[in-house]
Homo-oligomer: A and B are copies of this chain.
Amino acid sequence: MPAQERTGLWLVGARGSVATTATAGLLALRARVAGPTGCVTELPAFAGVPLPGWDDLVIGGHDIVATPLEKRAEQLAGAGVLGHAVFAAVRAGLAEVDAEIRDGYHPATHTGAQADAAERLSADIRDFAVRHDLARVVVIDISSTEAPCPHLPEHDDLGALEQALADPARAVLPPSSLSAYAALKAGSPYVGFTPSAGITLPALQQLAAREGLPYAGCDGKTGETLLRTVLAPMFSARALKVRSWSGTNLLGGGDGETLADPVTVGSKLESKARGLAALLGDEVTAPLHIDNVPDLGEVKTAWDHVSFEGFLGARMSLQFTWTGYDSALAAPLVLDLARLVGAAHAAGQTGALTELGFFFKDPLGSDEHRFAEQTRRLTDWAATL
């Protein structure tokens, strides 16, 4: 990546908890009021990789809510995600970023063809790039999880899709995929950090191929699934037979509310289950729950119970409880992805960046879920940039 190049980070869902934490964090890093704990790209293994520096990243984005970043950050400070000192130091900067946020796409309020909406979204991204003289803009979706999206034939073919998008009577793409489409049309690399459809539709991957753009996803791996992909390989390496792996997730905040809807939670549960089955096979009993517990606020608690069999049929168990701030876990990864995907784009890489599986519950283009192996692949790949 040539020196002095500036990279845009365009957040879909730019006023949510994760986005606010990522934005506040970037400002805090620049202001030297916080260190890069949780930022993978600051580890020694990435020292020589030509990544954009913290000072070279510029944030903008789309959102469908209007609560200013400053107010959202104040709530997060009250909830323990940000310290009050950090909040005070970044307050002014948040207002500047807030001015770079444009209205997102919402199917209930949009009239006309989806193609028009996409064009508007694309224009927002292009304008942002011009306004800030950016070499590229990485688009990352961290908006609320959508309900699973019914499959349509147009999702498999770019030509058919673009025809359908032009038809004002139809709405063939869910918002996350419309955002992905708009990003690609704006020439931007795209990252799906949620389990929503986003760029998983084949037609969009055709578009990325045509435009020569890289992309990555899906669904940031920040808690229970991270632990599962760390622990499951241990059982395999030791020839211990996992018989059941039960999980319960308690979460409050906006995420808890979104996932309280049984249809929406389907996306998330599917994404989580795929990893375990890939690691341990389908015969493992694996009940999994996500419960909305509003009083927990920004804290997420996961309890997992693993029952396994050892030598001569001995029955044993492992339990763990993980308690964390989801936003604090996700936000530095969003900054990492902006840097890495930006660098990949600068290096001319295209298509699914399978080496970024390290970051995702359901890695696009890869069946590798073992965390240690994902770590190795990530650092090996970064060394080639």
Residue numbers of A with Cβ under 8 A of B are 21, 24-25, 28, 34, 36-40, 42-43, 78, 80-84, 86, 226-227, 230-231, 233-234, 236-241, 243-244, 246, 248, 250, 285, 287, 289, 291-296, 301, 303, 305, 307, 309-325, 328-329, 331-332, 358, 370-373, 375
Determine whether the beta carbon of A295 is less than 8 Å from that of B38: no
Query: Of B239, B307, B319, which is within 8 A of A295 by CB?
Result: B307
How far apart are A188's CB and chain B's nearest CB, in angstroms? 25
Determine whether the beta carbon of B322 is less than 8 Å from that of A310: no
**Considering the chains assembled together, what is the distance between the CA atoms of A314 and B332 in angstroms?**
12
Determine whether the beta carbon of B37 is less than 8 Å from that of A313: yes
Query: Of B236, B287, B289, B318, which is within 8 A of A320 by CB?
Result: B318
Q: Which residues of B contact A372 (CB under 8 A)?
A: 233, 237, 370-373, 375
Determine whether the beta carbon of B311 is less than 8 Å from that of A250: no
Q: Which residues of B contact A324 (CB under 8 A)?
A: 310, 314, 316-317
Determine whether the beta carbon of A311 is less than 8 Å from that of B331: yes
Query: Of B36, B227, B320, which is within 8 A of A239 by CB?
Result: B36
Determine whether the beta carbon of B234 is less than 8 Å from that of A226: yes
Which secondary structure characterizes the binding site on chain A? mixed
**Considering the chains assembled together, what is the distance between the CA atoms of A50 and B168 in angstroms?**
68
Q: Which residues of B contact A42 (CB under 8 A)?
A: 239
Query: Of B238, B246, B295, which is within 8 A of A244 by CB?
Result: B295
Q: Which residues of B contact A375 (CB under 8 A)?
A: 233, 237, 372
Query: Of B239, B319, B358, which is within 8 A of A43 by CB?
Result: B239
**Considering the chains assembled together, what is the distance between the CA atoms of A328 and B313 in angstroms?**
9
Nearest-CB residue, chain B, relative to A46: B239
Q: Which residues of B contact A86 (CB under 8 A)?
A: 312-313
Contact A250:B246 (CB < 8 A) given known A37-B313, A321-B318: yes
Determine whether the beta carbon of B312 is less than 8 Å from that of A25: yes
Q: Which residues of B contact A316 (CB under 8 A)?
A: 322-325, 328-329
Q: Which residues of B contact A318 (CB under 8 A)?
A: 227, 320-323
Q: Which residues of B contact A307 (CB under 8 A)?
A: 293, 295-296
Q: Which residues of B contact A226 (CB under 8 A)?
A: 234, 238
Determine whether the beta carbon of B285 is less than 8 Å from that of A311: no
**Considering the chains assembled together, what is the distance between the CA atoms of A21 and B310 in angstroms?**
12
Determine whether the beta carbon of B323 is less than 8 Å from that of A40: no
**Considering the chains assembled together, what is the distance between the CA atoms of A319 and B319 in angstroms?**
8
Nearest-CB residue, chain B, relative to A307: B295
Q: List 14 A-B contacts (CB under 8 A).
A: A36-B239, A37-B241, A39-B239, A42-B239, A86-B313, A227-B234, A233-B375, A243-B295, A246-B293, A287-B293, A310-B325, A310-B329, A320-B321, A370-B372
**Considering the chains assembled together, what is the distance between the CA atoms of A376 and B95 in angstroms?**
49
Q: Which residues of B contact A293 (CB under 8 A)?
A: 244, 246, 285, 287, 307
Nearest-CB residue, chain B, relative to A86: B312
